[in-house]
Structure 1
């Protein structure tokens, strides 16, 4: 199955979204480093304790010294336990803080991403957001602990050298073997991590598509097609995952073997050093324990190398996503407190990404404040695109889209949309109550205003017949409600708060004629003195407008007063 890869093709820029939250927690990471230093120093005590017991206590039967040494060791072990617990706690705290900040930034970028720059399907973007868990596991897991412990290998080697002399060469020889195995397997792991992630995103894409359109899938009998895609994605993902685990196992096995060889090598060499009176029995035991500690951190890294490559791949993909163009500019943008409602298109041309022809061509249009404009046209003529550009959902390829005389790109779109009510073709409702879907958590919207627009759009007529009323919890996308009911709720949230600009795109396509007539009669007074754009195929909705545009092949073919335009459109039919 051919799917779009989200792996970046260019080198990602500086990842401020990740580095800045980590720097903000540098004090916590410094505590982790200090705890790691003390833990590794305490780790040397056990080896020195064994050496002292075998070299001093056993030959002299010094039980009093044994008791004193054991009490000291127990005290060290208590502090070691406390420090290990604190280190894990600090790593989890730092990881949680970084995860919260990174999650907030990435979700904000997801909500503000420019639609013309969006890459990947809904399922792929959903899977990509889940890859943040890989980064969190890396920043708050045993991987971080192992990396912190690596520099202390040199301290352990110095102690082995001080006790056993040339005996230190045994673990020194083992270390390059473990590192070499990791370096040899890393390119393959890195390549396979990207493959595993892409195949996982493909699975997510098929899954989200199937769940989101389950009703349609059943009706059109698309289950066999999706089942085939799911099996293909599952087989590809399983194959890549299997190869990744096999390569990772090689590094882990080499590290385990090297650790055993280090222990055995120290014992063998140590026996000859004892025979030559260059090493004591206690020194040999201490060095054998320290030899395992010297190689162990490298073994942990080898064991977690697959997670490291997974985190790196996740970082690359999320960083590429964070580098995509956003509606939010890095420079200061204008934040209007209100809109007059003047909308201008100046020589606007627009082409959808990947399209071979323009959706809009050389559009010049001025919609005055308080003017109500209807947009007509055949399917694919560009009328919905025109409405979406007025909402700032897309930026023009050429030309300017202006609100109140200001380029829309210079304005904070979040602030602009507070004063714009929109109901698009597909009435997508959010999970939550009907009340939440109408108010959307906006300040200054009380129950009185909600009830006003609910009565206006007809929501109040059917909510009174539903258990729980406005507190009824809706399923995904409002499933369980009819198309007309969903549209009524969508119209309510567009009108609540009395926005100065209204954009409707086929707002009554799911309603019956009677409901539509009642709604139009109510809207006639509601929309007075507001700037209104209505995209429609239904002549009945043109009662709400006083000006009509006809879009043909991406251009404005007809523009004029409603009655004049309708007369011109009907005259050829009468002549025929």
Structure 2
């Protein structure tokens, strides 16, 4: 928690003002009972009306001053806590942007969302309460104790008994609640995960009639969170009644012993009334601390989870002295590359070596799980190679900045991803300053211009979240157009034609050949018809390249490729 609160350094002035106004508010609250005591002790017995009016006006002024300070404290504390939460969210988001896929896999997307939203909100709320109460409570406690003793030192012995009991009760309840607050955040992660899977996979759930199963799964996660929340709230529910009970017994004791001291003439009525007020202030200061203790355990658990994200070192780092590429343009080389996923026992890729040059199309084909997508993930450096090196323009990708490397690559992922906004906005994602002419040209090459022109608003048509208002084939073509618009040195297509019919696939590949004549094209596909015209085909099996050559060469010499071809094409088509 303290690590996060260091971010308040930029808000020193408003925090100092909060402290000043809290101090003034506390002083005004502490001075009022003394003034009331003066009226009761001096003004009323002597029937001194001018004195009562004089002290009353002073009480009114001090009360208004305290109210004004309270308003300013609330305003400034809300501003600081809100801006602190804004800055912390931005910091977490910027840090997460630097994560490799390994860190995302380690923490989990659902947990990252919870930590960036709910956890930061918990810290924000407790910061607000701390600025309003954590500074005020000690002032009220110490000041009230001093003022109570000044009214009657012997009567203060009542507080010596009651305050440790009250403090012990608060500490015990907070100690019981802390582990449960930590558990709540983890169970909230679980609920978020289940809900996210259900919302993103709604089509699969409905197509397999698994609605009841998913309802049961959500109910279990929801019930688990609810039971823990109820349990912790039951514990915390004891706090307020316990404190009120102790406080009321304390007041009874003060009135009882104070009455005896008034009878003996050792104390005046006004002093006892002021003493009661100070005792109430002391007790309420402990109640304020208890409110913080209710919120602090959960906020502390949230702060730990936020710090876990901020302290996680991204595996991928930019080199201290980046190497400038030589005169090569768009050349890609895999030099004896091996890779295994973190925590895995076996290699996903082993001994991968090949060179792809500009003007060439290198296709990669193989069975499911042969490592095709994993291989492509190493080009933009989504993962770090375990052994060997991946070179772009003759330079190891680890010696280039990530921005410089990825600016040379037009990547079309296996699952087409579109963002909320217009079609033009999505295409400009590849190049921010793209002109309308460039957008239309990229869409035309990607065979997307026909269906775009049929939309009512054309390129200004809105894409829904996740691209749910366009078909799979249309999403793929828009993703391809987004990569084309940046005119990169290397195009990477990860099974990006799977949702296209054969006619559109053929037209698209013909248009791409002309468009990418000066670039290197790496193409992963399941269809033989998509890869057969490539300049070179790499055949992968169990993480290794088991064949390399043209379609006709591999048909003649490679058994794995022949099996793939025979499973898709008839003997007449093969011939």
With the length of structure 2 as denominator, give the TM-score of the two structures.
0.91
- Distance in 1 (CA, whole Å) between partners of 2:335 and 2:39 is 89
- Distance in 1 (CA, whole Å) between partners of 2:113 and 2:302 is 13
Q: Provide Cα deviations, 1:449-505, integer angstroms capped at 9, x if missing partner.
A: 111101111221101111222222222211121111010111111111211121101
**Aligned: 1:252 with 2:252:** no
Q: Which residue of 1 aligns with 2:53?
A: 67
- Distance in 2 (CA, whole Å) between partners of 1:20 and 1:420 is 39
1:425 aligned counterpart, secondary structure:
coil
CA RMSD of aligned residues (A): 2.5
Q: Provide Cα deviations, 1:27-80, integer angstroms capped at 9, x if missing partner.
A: 222211111111100101220121011011101111111112122122212221
1:166 aligned counterpart, secondary structure:
coil
Q: CA 1:320/1:37 → structure 2, altered by over 3 Å: closer, same or farther?
A: same
CA contact (8 A) 2:18 2:131 kept: no
1:509 aligned counterpart, secondary structure:
coil
Q: Which residue of 2 aligns with 1:503?
A: 492
The equivalent position to 2:8 in structure 1, one of 11, 16, 22, is 22
- Distance in 1 (CA, whole Å) between partners of 2:300 and 2:384 is 33
Q: CA 1:172/1:364 → structure 2, altered by over 3 Å: closer, same or farther?
A: farther
Q: Which residue of 1 aligns with 2:421?
A: 432
- Distance in 2 (CA, whole Å) between partners of 1:137 and 1:563 is 68
By how many angstroms is 1:250 displaced?
2.1
Q: CA 1:39/1:556 → structure 2, altered by over 3 Å: closer, same or farther?
A: same
Q: Provide Cα deviations, 1:408-451, integer angstroms capped at 9, x if missing partner.
A: 33433234323321111111211222111111284322222111
Q: Which residue of 1 aligns with 2:180?
A: 192
Q: Which residue of 1 aligns with 2:133?
A: 146
Q: Which residue of 2 aligns with 1:4?
A: none
By how many angstroms is 1:15 displaced?
7.7
Q: Which residue of 2 aligns with 1:286?
A: 274
Q: Which residue of 1 aligns with 2:342?
A: 353
| Mapping for residues 36-435 of structure 1, pairs under 5 Å | 36-118=22-104, 119-130=106-117, 131-140=119-128, 142-152=129-139, 153-326=141-314, 329=317, 332=320, 334=322, 340-435=329-424
Structure 1: runs of 5+ lacking an equivalent? 1-13
Q: CA 1:296/1:35 → structure 2, altered by over 3 Å: closer, same or farther?
A: same
- Distance in 1 (CA, whole Å) between partners of 2:252 and 2:419 is 64
- Distance in 1 (CA, whole Å) between partners of 2:325 and 2:92 is 27
Q: CA 1:172/1:437 → structure 2, altered by over 3 Å: closer, same or farther?
A: farther
2:353 aligned counterpart, secondary structure:
strand
- Distance in 2 (CA, whole Å) between partners of 1:274 and 1:330 is 78
1:375 aligned counterpart, secondary structure:
strand
- Distance in 1 (CA, whole Å) between partners of 2:2 and 2:168 is 29
- Distance in 1 (CA, whole Å) between partners of 2:280 and 2:562 is 94
CA contact (8 A) 2:100 2:316 kept: no
CA contact (8 A) 1:336 1:415 kept: no
1:534 aligned counterpart, secondary structure:
strand
- Distance in 2 (CA, whole Å) between partners of 1:390 and 1:544 is 23
2:378 aligned counterpart, secondary structure:
helix
By how many angstroms is 1:91 displaced?
0.9
Q: CA 1:337/1:452 → structure 2, altered by over 3 Å: closer, same or farther?
A: farther
Q: CA 1:173/1:435 → structure 2, altered by over 3 Å: closer, same or farther?
A: farther
Number of paired residues? 561
Q: CA 1:412/1:84 → structure 2, altered by over 3 Å: closer, same or farther?
A: farther
Q: Provide Cα deviations, 1:319-373, integer angstroms capped at 9, x if missing partner.
A: 1122333266387474979993233334432222343422112323333455432
1:292 aligned counterpart, secondary structure:
helix
**Aligned: 1:541 with 2:530:** yes
By how many angstroms is 1:84 displaced?
0.8
